[in-house]
Amino acid sequence: MRLIYIIITFALIFSCNEKDKVNINTTLKKKNAYNSNKIIKEIPEITADFILNEKNSMDFFLEYDKIHKENVVELDTDMGKIEITLFNETKFHRSNFLYLSKKNYFKSTQFYRVINDFIIQGGNSDNRKISKKRKKIGKYLLPVDNNHGFKHSRGMVSMPSSIIKNPHKLASPYEFFIVQNKSGAHFLDGDYTIFGKVTKGMDIVDRIAAVDTDNMDWPISNIFINNVKVIK
């Protein structure tokens, strides 16, 4: 009897250990699913420690586009509100802007490049907190997607290319510019991705464009984006 009891005890211990291993492995697989560049369609939200990079960003935004269908956002700036409709055709860039908005990335960024009768450009800042936000979200670029017939007309929202070595003009995902010139800026067509259009608040865009700037086109008095709200 004693021998049988010992055998049963060891069997139970071994069984529990194996079950624990399975549970641990399952948890680790779920936790590291995005880090291993595999998108889990059943999970609409990502883990807190997920970081975007050049290898996983395209797959991530492709899946994000399937789940998050909102396409109207509102920029709350120091000078007033600007409403933007994001284009469904440019799925990666739309999803990127939605994702950053929901991560509160744009909060306290600035319009850091302002050229009257041309564009206003935002999404950056000289504040170190913004750099820390970028580091937590990830380092990646987006491809040019300009085959949808959109032109750089007044009110169009486009994505500038990164300033790093970038012969293919890949887009800097954290920044955007709004065409303010009444005749547009069509010499930019084909080089940058237009992913939205201002539907309300072009008067605010004009007010921002008219401010005094330094010799680097940075407004003398900072113009902040206080928040970006996803409307619908």
**pLDDT truncated to tens, each residue of the chain (232 aa)?**
444 444 444 444 334 444 443 343 333 334 334 443 444 444 345 566 789 999 999 999 999 999 999 999 999 999 999 999 999 999 999 999 999 999 999 999 999 999 999 999 999 998 899 999 999 999 999 998 988 999 999 999 999 875 555 555 678 899 999 999 999 999 999 989 999 999 999 999 999 999 999 999 999 999 999 999 999 8
pLDDT at 31: 39
pTM beyond 0.85: no
HEC assignment per residue over 131-189: HHHHHHHECCCECCCCCCCCCCCCCEEEECECCCCCCCCCECCCCEEEECCCCCCHHHC
At a CB cut-off of 8 Å and minimum separation 6, what does 178 contact? 82, 119, 120, 121, 122, 155, 156, 157, 158, 198, 205
CB neighbours of 94 closer than 8 A, spacing ≥ 6?
65, 71, 86, 87, 88, 195, 196
Backbone angles phi, psi at 135, to 5 degrees: -60, -40
Q: Look at residue 45 and give its three-state secondary structure.
A: coil
Return the pLDDT at 9.
43
- Across the chain, the runs of DSSP E, i.e. the strands, are 72-77, 80-86, 109-115, 119-124, 156-159, 176-179, 193-200, 224-230
Instruction: Record the tokens describing residue 90, joined without a space.
Output: 């440019």
